[in-house]
Amino acid sequence: MKKGIHPKYYPNAKVICACGNTWTTGATQEVLRTDVCSKCHPFFTGQMQRIVDTAGQVERFQRRVERARELREEAAKREAARRERERARKIVEIVDEEESVEPIEGLEEESSNEE
């Protein structure tokens, strides 16, 4: 190995977790601090309902999911309103077609009386 290009190695580096758990390991830093460890991480503790939030990422994700749900509901309402308008438009068209086919009452009798 070349001299002077490698970082100093600490064979008894101390690792400190946010939960208070500590252990020693080999590292290039004398003291390491971590947010989660095998004692407090939900995957290892079996508490999968607990979500580890780092820098508000989980809250931001939950807000996006909520906003997407609101947008889907709003889109469904708009689609239902559009279908209702289309149905009403078709009913009006059917009624218009029926009226144009049927003769107007009394008009036929008046025209035969004039002759």
Strands 31-34, 10-17: pairing is: parallel
pTM (predicted TM-score): 0.39
Measured between alpha carbons, how far is residue 112 from residues 87, 102, 104 in Å?
A: 40, 17, 14
What pLDDT is recorded for position 36?
A: 85
Q: CA 45 to CA 52: how far, in whole Å?
A: 12
* No. of helices (H) and no. of strands (E), the chain: 3, 3
What pLDDT is recorded for position 68?
A: 95
Contacts of 98 (CB under 8 A, 6+ apart): none
What pLDDT is recorded for position 108?
A: 56
What pLDDT is recorded for position 74?
A: 96
Q: CA 103 to CA 113: how far, in whole Å?
A: 16
What pLDDT is recorded for position 61?
A: 87
What pLDDT is recorded for position 15?
A: 94
11 closest CA partner among 22, 23, 29, 26 = 26
Q: pLDDT tens, position by position, for the chain (115 residues)?
A: 688 888 999 999 999 998 889 999 999 999 999 888 888 876 666 666 556 666 777 788 889 999 999 999 999 999 999 999 988 888 877 766 655 555 556 655 555 555 5
